[in-house]
Amino acid sequence: MAEIASNIPPILPEQVPVAEETAISPWKEAWKSFKKNKLAIVGLSIVTFFVLLAIVAPLIAPYEFADQKLSDKHLAPSGEHWFGTDEFGRDILSRIIYGSRISLWVGFISVAGSVFAGSFLGIIAGYYGKWVDTIISRVFDIILAFPSILLAIAVVSVLGPSLQNALVAIAIINVPTFGRLLRSRVLSVKEEEYITAAKAIGMKDSRILIHHILPNSLAPIIVQGTLAIATAIIECAALGFLGMGAQAPTPEWGKMLADSRAFILQAPWTVLFPGLAIMLTVLGFNLMGDGLRDALDPRMKN
């Protein structure tokens, strides 16, 4: 028996069969959770529709947005003009299709500028603290002390009314939102053990910020950025309605509302369809932003 036992080879730990565990990426898990949210999918569908509309605008618009035909002014919706015409005989459907380009462009570009500037200032304030944090935080407090639309009007008044200046104004008023968000995130992340270890081995601050702190702060930026695009579209429309944004004949939805408000009883379709375009676009981004928040925030998961 002793000889038989001695001839049996020992079972090494690495030879023991172990069930393989498939590691799921956090982003794949977030997408899986996002797909389960029906309202979020509706929002994504609406946003995708308007993005595609903006991309193929020259191909599907039945008329040029600036074509005028005074003999066709204020025509009711029909087979020739699905959304009717305005006071200059311009096709409203074509102007709304081209207007999607302007609204989405302002939304994406202004929010991108806000994210870049706000993230930079917020990370610097949260990581270095002390007097740097005090100065940057007080600047954020000053900007947030003013109602956003009034501050945007003030900025455009100084720079001059135009679509580009409206974009700059919208970007400026949204900087504190991302700055304070990143500052609070950095204050919690920089106390983690891996940040302490990175400092202990002599890693440069710039490398720590770019390779460790910023990647761990992307989730709240994505959620807030999506919601901020909806806000930017509303603010762009508000500035256009007040004559501080896009100028004629640019087919910006807020400007279209402003030009048609005098004919709301005579030709209600001139106000109805641009207003619906604004409402649907903002609704889409809000639904998608809520879905991203639920998918990326661990506290929202069961």
> In the structure, what pLDDT confidence band is assigned to residue 26 with cuts at 50, 70 and 90?
low
Instruction: Give residues with Cβ within 8 angstroms of 109, minimum separation 6.
Output: 167, 171
Q: Answer yes or no: is pLDDT of 22 > 70.
A: no
The answer, as to whether pTM is greater than 0.85, is no
**Residue 88, helix vs strand vs coil:** coil
Q: Which domains does the chain have, with CATH numbers?
A: 36-61+91-297 (1.10.3720.10)
Going by C-alpha positions, the residue among 99, 42, 44 that lies closest to residue 66 is 99
Q: At residue 91, what are phi and psi to the nearest 5 degrees?
A: -70, 120
Return the pLDDT at 170.
Answer: 92
> In the structure, what pLDDT confidence band is assigned to residue 16 with cuts at 50, 70 and 90?
very low
Q: Which residue has the tokens 């917020």?
A: 122
Of all residues in the chain, what percent are helix, strand and coil, respectively (each to 5)?
Answer: 75, 0, 25
DSSP string computed for 41-84: HHHHHHHHHHHHHHHTHHHH-SS-TT---GGGTTPPS-SSSTT-
pLDDT tens digits for 228-277?
999 999 999 888 888 888 887 888 888 888 888 888 888 888 899 999 99
